[in-house]
Chain A
Amino acid sequence: MISDIDEFDFDFDFDEDDSLFVIGDAQQYLFFQSGVNTYALDVSHVSEMIEYQAVTKVPMMLPYVKGVTNIRGTIVTVIDLLERFGHGSTVIGPKTSLVIVNGIALIIDEVHDVCSIIEENIKEPLDFGFKLEPRFIKNMAKYQESHIAILNCSEILNISEIAQLKGK
């Protein structure tokens, strides 16, 4: 009897592990809306997603650095992704969310889905033709019959760049 339970537990853990991590050569991505575009982010960079909440403005920062917010007692920097791309600022609505990437909260319009993309559907980014600075794009991916950009987190959240003060 006891051994049955053990076996059951083991199987259960095994299944769950599989769904969380990479199967074969497919990586998991978070798909979300920002402005008119859908983007993807490697889930391994994403620690959490929450509903948009009040942000305290911090003066003298660049316009896309919106300020700070309190996530369970920790002060987290908030950045408007759309504005970071130079596509205007995000309009706060009921579906607006904060995605915490590398400890920084990105304001996005709507979270779509988390799913995997097999490697053969991941392509090198185009040099031009996409309305986004090439440095922000890590790869292009085919998702639901359309081509979307997989974002380059380290470039978007380049601390020395976003830490600059306004007017300097």
Chain B
Amino acid sequence: MNEELEIFLEDCDDQLQMMENALVEMQSAEATEENIGAIFRAVHTIKGSAGMFGFEDIVTFTHTCENLFDVIRQGELKINSEMVSLFLLCKDYIEKLIDSAVNDEELSEEENQLGKELIEALLSFIPSEEIPKKKSILLKDEEEKSLKNRWHISIRFNKDFFTTGMSIHSIFNFLNSMGTVLINAPIIYKIPLLEDLNPIFPYIGFEILYEGTQSQEALEDVFEFIQEDVSLVIFEAKNLEEYDLLLQIRDEELLQEELLRYSFITPKVTQVDTPEPLKIQEKENTIRNKELKSDVSKQSSKKSSASLRVDSQKIDILINYMSEIVIANSKILALVSSDDEEEEEESELQEAAQNMKQLLEYVRDGIMDIRMVQVGDSFNKFRRIVNDTSKKIGKDVEFVISGEETELDKTVIERVSDPLLHMLRNSIDHGIELPKEREKNGKSPRGRVDLRAYPDAGSIVIEIEDDGKGLDKEKILSKAVSNGLVSENANLSDEEIYKLIFAAGLSTADKVSDISGRGVGMDVVKRNIEDLRGSIDIESVLGQGSKITIRLPLTLAIIDGFLVQVGTTKYIIPLENIKECIELTETQELEMGENEFINLRGEMLPLLDIRELLQEDGSLTSRKNIVIVYFGNRSVGLLVDELLDEYQTVIKSLGSVFHNLSGISGGSILGSGEIALIFDIPRLIEMEKLKGSVMDD
């Protein structure tokens, strides 16, 4: 695919997404002028750029859409939900058309048929008196019906026009498809002698008299794609004074002659006495204004090109190399600091290595930052699905998104998208009640589902909250008992009961729908989230709704950790989970006795002896240290032998043999070649909690 086509495709994607967002918004709320305008513009832009590439199918189809929307925009027709659904289908169809056009594929018979049906459906909405207008080409509104406009279009091409990949031919193609070119005067006097001619420069220019129904704006839009590569003057042809302006702007000696020759203007007109100086000044002002305007538009288009679309694979490659550099650099640092033991003073080498480390951290953060994407885009994609789903099952749901600007690693967003979708569907299908039922329970008939994202303590929190019927503890428990997931007399806390919905094979839906309720899903959701080193929690109040909270790490590839030693094994504790490190004093140890907690500044801190937990052999040091870690609102002290160093580390998977192992998220290769295991603090805490509840029994 060439570059221009790629830009076209990306541009269309954006436009289609905008269109969908606006449509979906209309579904749930009143149609605003803004929304209608946005959709009109999106369709119009797609039509324009498709025309530049000569994609006739797209132009024809979008044209019909545009017509109907124009009627709506003029206020002659009120948009209704039927039309919104139709437009959504049209949006999908346009997407298909673009796909097949870009990939140079033929549409299938069915797709062609679908297109015809959609066009018919669209036409049926256009008021009958509008239909005759449709027969003549591209008539758009009342004033233009009576009189087609004649426009003068003057084009000169920049030197490197041909390198953009656009062809002059397609410009004419497009103009011809929208209206009629009455006079086409090629301006050839700039073509040099053959010996001076550079074949890659477009010396040619055009003066065109064009008849069509578009507004000036619409015509200028046509050239949007190449606006930076051409110099363009468009004005209404009946305004003869404008020709004087054109002559001034072009400042070409022979132009007047040519204009006369092609009878754009008659000698009489040009012989009209030179206008009074004052008038000229006025005109100059308008020219200047115009130039200013075009400058502004140029600037804004430059601004948009300041952001860069990069193939995400390129970034992945960079991150991979970065990971290797981080490992290599920690090896250098290890070597340098081992030299240090002999020399007291900080050597230059050490200084340089430290410097390097600092710089690498900047580079790493920079690369990581490229991958960070705002969650808004992918959240907005849920709008339509939420709307479609709720409509299908006859529920009225208000879907509120907040925290769209929260940034998250692109891979994390991609991988969390399906689980989120699943949970949203669950909320609508099982959470929100039918409008009647809601009214009976004294709630507003319209349900509400919130999707929120915000950063918290080095991780990102995503919440899905609904005001539906909430989880029925008894129902879950009895189901879990009958499925053999828990024993009948188990004494579970509310939280533990809610967590059962994440167990495989448990669905509390009475009825299995095609949306959810098969009991496959929530366990997969949990697994997916945990694979991302995240955690998932659920809170619920019967009759009032439930809230699912997902915690995710900012990024997957690298973590900052603290290296500790227990027995002979080294472990890394993610820095984001560490609250503080303290030494276990003898008094504390005595105080502790047989218990597994210490008194820390008056607070009770549960203690986890890593050596005991992981069955490590005894250490050489008698000194014991406590690393206090936290996750969410829980703190635990980890009893370790030695605190080594802060360590920047690349997470590597331990392999499939260890996938049942919770509490350890992976391994990292140290500078010395040794492997250190990385603690998964959230799961370690959870594991201990479960153990605790087992002991309670």
Residues of A within 8 A of B675 (CB): 56, 68-70, 75
Nearest opposing residue in chain B for A165, CB measure: B660
Residues B568-601 near A (CB distance < 8 A): 568-570
> Contact mask B630-661 → A, CB, 8 Å, 1/0?
00000000000000000000001111111111
Is there contact, CB below 8 Å, between A58 and B677?
A: yes
Q: Which of B39-47, B99-107, B172-180, B612-620 contacts A (4 or more CB under 8 A)?
A: B612-620
Residues of A within 8 A of B246 (CB): none
Nearest opposing residue in chain B for A53, CB measure: B673
Residue picked from B324, B655, B661, B674, most chain A C-beta under 10 Å: B655
Tell me, rounded to whole Å, the shortest Cβ–Cβ distance linking A168 to chain B: 8
Nearest opposing residue in chain A for B615, CB measure: A59
Is there contact, CB below 8 Å, between A73 and B669?
A: yes
B412 within 8 A of partner (CB): no
Contacts A60-B614, A75-B653; is A164 near B660 (CB within 8 Å)?
A: yes
Complex: A77 Cα to B657 Cα, angstroms: 7
Contacts A58-B654, A59-B613, A68-B654; is A75 near B667 (CB within 8 Å)?
A: yes
Residues A148-168 near B (CB distance < 8 A): 159, 162-165
Complex: A58 Cα to B613 Cα, angstroms: 12
A103 within 8 A of partner (CB): yes
Residues of A within 8 A of B655 (CB): 68, 75-77, 103-104
A57 within 8 A of partner (CB): yes
Nearest opposing residue in chain A for B611, CB measure: A59
A40 within 8 A of partner (CB): no
Tell me, rounded to whole Å, the shortest Cβ–Cβ distance linking A36 to chain B: 27
For this complex, into which size category does the number of interface residues on chain A fall? 20 to 34
Residues of B within 8 A of A162 (CB): 657
Partner of B569, one of A57, A104, A159: A57
Nearest opposing residue in chain B for A104, CB measure: B657
B664 within 8 A of partner (CB): yes
Tell me, rounded to whole Å, the shortest Cβ–Cβ distance linking A78 to chain B: 10
B232 within 8 A of partner (CB): no
Residues of B within 8 A of A159 (CB): 656-657
Tell me, rounded to whole Å, the shortest Cβ–Cβ distance linking A77 to chain B: 5
Tell me, rounded to whole Å, the shortest Cβ–Cβ distance linking B568 to chain A: 7
B265 within 8 A of partner (CB): no
B123 within 8 A of partner (CB): no
Residues of A within 8 A of B667 (CB): 56, 68, 75
A54 within 8 A of partner (CB): yes
A30 within 8 A of partner (CB): no
Is there contact, CB below 8 Å, between A77 and B673?
A: no
Complex: A163 Cα to B656 Cα, angstroms: 8
A140 within 8 A of partner (CB): no
Tell me, rounded to whole Å, the shortest Cβ–Cβ distance linking A136 to chain B: 17
B401 within 8 A of partner (CB): no
Tell me, rounded to whole Å, the shortest Cβ–Cβ distance linking A74 to chain B: 8
Partner of B677, one of A56, A103, A164: A56
Nearest opposing residue in chain A for B659, CB measure: A163
Residues of B within 8 A of A65 (CB): 657
B676 within 8 A of partner (CB): yes
Residues of B within 8 A of A164 (CB): 660
A46 within 8 A of partner (CB): no
A61 within 8 A of partner (CB): yes
Tell me, rounded to whole Å, the shortest Cβ–Cβ distance linking A100 to chain B: 12
Residues of A within 8 A of B673 (CB): 70
Nearest opposing residue in chain A for B656, CB measure: A159
Nearest opposing residue in chain B for A56, CB measure: B675
Is there contact, CB below 8 Å, between B661 and A77?
A: no
Residues of B within 8 A of A103 (CB): 655
Complex: A68 Cα to B652 Cα, angstroms: 12
Tell me, rounded to whole Å, the shortest Cβ–Cβ distance linking A51 to chain B: 14
Is there contact, CB below 8 Å, between A165 and B661?
A: yes
Nearest opposing residue in chain A for B570, CB measure: A56
Is there contact, CB below 8 Å, between A58 and B658?
A: yes
Is there contact, CB below 8 Å, between B616 and A75?
A: no
Residues of B within 8 A of A165 (CB): 660-661
Is there contact, CB below 8 Å, between A56 and B569?
A: yes
Residues of B within 8 A of A74 (CB): 652
Is there contact, CB below 8 Å, between B658 and A77?
A: yes
Residues of A within 8 A of B656 (CB): 159, 163
Residues of B within 8 A of A73 (CB): 324, 327, 669
Residues B444-491 near A (CB distance < 8 A): none
Complex: A3 Cα to B146 Cα, angstroms: 84
Complex: A70 Cα to B671 Cα, angstroms: 11
Residues B666-685 near A (CB distance < 8 A): 667, 669, 673-677
Contacts A59-B614, A75-B652; is A70 near B674 (CB within 8 Å)?
A: yes
Residues A101-137 near B (CB distance < 8 A): 103-104
Is there contact, CB below 8 Å, between A163 and B654?
A: no
Residues A49-88 near B (CB distance < 8 A): 54, 56-61, 65, 68-70, 73-77
Tell me, rounded to whole Å, the shortest Cβ–Cβ distance linking B619 to chain A: 14
Is there contact, CB below 8 Å, between A61 and B661?
A: yes
Residues of B within 8 A of A75 (CB): 652-655, 667, 669, 675
Nearest opposing residue in chain A for B568, CB measure: A57
Residues B355-404 near A (CB distance < 8 A): none
Residues of A within 8 A of B658 (CB): 58, 61, 77, 163
Tell me, rounded to whole Å, the shortest Cβ–Cβ distance linking B98 to chain A: 43
Complex: A56 Cα to B654 Cα, angstroms: 11
Complex: A68 Cα to B661 Cα, angstroms: 13
Nearest opposing residue in chain A for B687, CB measure: A60
Tell me, rounded to whole Å, the shortest Cβ–Cβ distance linking B188 to chain A: 58
Is there contact, CB below 8 Å, between B669 and A58?
A: no
Residues of B within 8 A of A59 (CB): 613-616, 664
Residues of A within 8 A of B616 (CB): 57, 59
Complex: A162 Cα to B660 Cα, angstroms: 10
Is there contact, CB below 8 Å, between A56 and B660?
A: no
Complex: A58 Cα to B569 Cα, angstroms: 9
Is there contact, CB below 8 Å, between A70 and B669?
A: yes
Partner of B660, one of A54, A69, A76, A163: A163
Nearest opposing residue in chain A for B670, CB measure: A70
Is there contact, CB below 8 Å, between B654 and A54?
A: no
Residue picked from A56, A69, A103, A104, most chain B C-beta under 10 Å: A56
Residues of A within 8 A of B652 (CB): 74-75
Contacts A68-B667, A75-B667; is A56 near B676 (CB within 8 Å)?
A: yes
Nearest opposing residue in chain A for B673, CB measure: A70
Tell me, rounded to whole Å, the shortest Cβ–Cβ distance linking A114 to chain B: 26
Tell me, rounded to whole Å, the shortest Cβ–Cβ distance linking A7 to chain B: 42
Complex: A164 Cα to B660 Cα, angstroms: 7
Tell me, rounded to whole Å, the shortest Cβ–Cβ distance linking B659 to chain A: 6
Complex: A56 Cα to B652 Cα, angstroms: 14
Nearest opposing residue in chain A for B669, CB measure: A70
> Contact mask B293-314 → A, CB, 8 Å, 1/0?
0000000000000000000000
Is there contact, CB below 8 Å, between B664 and A56?
A: no
Residue picked from B613, B616, B657, B675, most chain A C-beta under 10 Å: B657
Nearest opposing residue in chain B for A166, CB measure: B615
A-B contact pairs, 18 of them (CB 8 A): A56-B675, A56-B677, A57-B616, A58-B658, A58-B664, A58-B677, A60-B661, A61-B657, A61-B661, A70-B673, A74-B652, A75-B652, A75-B655, A75-B669, A77-B655, A104-B657, A159-B656, A163-B658
Additional A-B contact list (9), CB under 8 Å, known A68-B667, A77-B657, A165-B661: A56-B674, A56-B676, A58-B658, A60-B614, A68-B655, A104-B655, A104-B657, A163-B660, A165-B660
Q: Considering the complex of A and B, which 5 residue pairs feature the smallest CB-CB distances, nearest first?
A: A59-B614, A56-B675, A77-B657, A75-B667, A77-B655
